[in-house]
Amino acid sequence: MTTLLKNGYLVDSMNNREGVFDVLIKDRFVSAVAANMDAPADRTVDCSGLTVIPGICDMHVHLRDPGQTHKEDFVTAGEAAVAGGVTAVMCMANTVPAVDSPERVRDIVKRAETSKVKIYPCAAVTVGQGGSELCDFEALKQAGAVAVSDDGKPVENARLMMEAMIRARLAGLKIISHCEDTDISGDGIMNEGAVSAKLGVNGISRTSENIMTMREICLANDLKAHIHIAHVSTKEAIKYINMAVNLGIMVTCETAPHYFTLTDEELLKKDADYRMNPPLREFDDVLEITKALCNDMFDCIVSDHAPHAEREKADFKTAPFGVTGLETLLPVTLTRLYHTGKLPVSKIVRMMCVNPRRILGIGGGGIEAGSAADIAVFDLNENWTVEPGKLRSKSKNTCFKGMRLKGRVKYTLVNGEVVYEDK
């Protein structure tokens, strides 16, 4: 099977190539990239006026499978992912049971074959994510894990985290840290500030995130080990991470579209679809995160896709944390960063397509002869409104509902096959 993507505007940040090119795909791989290519193909896709990029790698996704498949499963997550131009995801370990053994990693690898998207398992740092006993990192790596994280929970014990960093380095795995001091965050349900006070609910202090971020940086510095900081939401955490990078400490970090788009004022609606952890912060945090993105201080933009059933999100105060995001990851980023003149598409591609793969060591992220034909094609200028009922995720708890976005995926290819087409 040969497919020719014709006349698209290619943005390949990994290979520093940008411009109007044709992309010829044979079977699972890119065969050639050239301008004005005259090549026979089983299918020609006219990409005139469209942008062609490597498929997005979302390295922070909660698939809920096994154990909570009423929220999401490999099939529905795959449908949601490819509709957003995402061709690879790393699934977090906080399933039921947690992904804390080689057998469970292998089970995910096997069952993920049913999905349209490439799924890479992230295993747990501690057994059962209980925070007291480390998993066997070597065995997890051999089974197919690409990273370890207790995300959804922090590793509270600093001594245990020190040992985890050492073992992860020896096993060739990255540790991803959910930075939260739960003694500080307590039973808070949103950002602690003027809005939480007005609503009369317990808040989550920014100190909870900040102090744990500093702890991880100090440990990474002392051990000469790498740490990846998940879902950064505060202006202070950004400063600490930037300081660490400037000192040569091995720290990378990510943020998500809701943290550079929305503030805690959304919670005045008393709608649990705007509750996640870490929570939406304040206007100054949104400004500083946006500025940091523009100054290349973030390595990755991720969705932190965390689906929940409608009934679970019904009560504002007791609902679980988390929002969906696979389908809105690219469009929100384009709307907030590209169409406001803050970032070129090339930098967005680097943070969504190149850097996540580099950090995880899974390869790919470019469009060149011999590379896997994992590609997203989108219309930079198409306007559309987020309607939860039309999203492909099994759960509809998006914090972008009703938002007018600019930029929409038209085609997604995985291993050379068109697995999504916007009709």
* Residue numbers annotated as active site: 304
Torsion of CA 197, 198, 200, 203, to 10 degrees: -40
Distances (CA, A) of 94 to 64, 135, 266: 8, 14, 27
Read off the amino acid at residue 154. P
Tell me which residue of 261, 265, 242 sits closest to 252, measured CA to CA: 242
Cβ-based neighbour number of residue 283 at 10 Å:
10
Encoded amino acid at 382, one letter: E
Please give the distance of CA 21 from its chain centroid, rounded to a whole number: 28
Residue 257 to residues 34, 300, 323, 371: CA-CA distances in angstroms? 33, 11, 11, 28
- The DSSP output letter for 312 is G
Q: For residue 382, count CB atoms less than 10 angstroms from its CB and return exposed for 0-12, middle for 13-18, buried for 19 or more.
A: middle
How many whole angstroms separate alpha carbon 212 and alpha carbon 230? 11
Write the DSSP string, 258-308.
GGGT--GGGGGG--GGG--SSPP--HHHHHHHHHHHHTT--SEE---B---
Task: Give Cα 401 distance to the centre of its chain.
Answer: 19
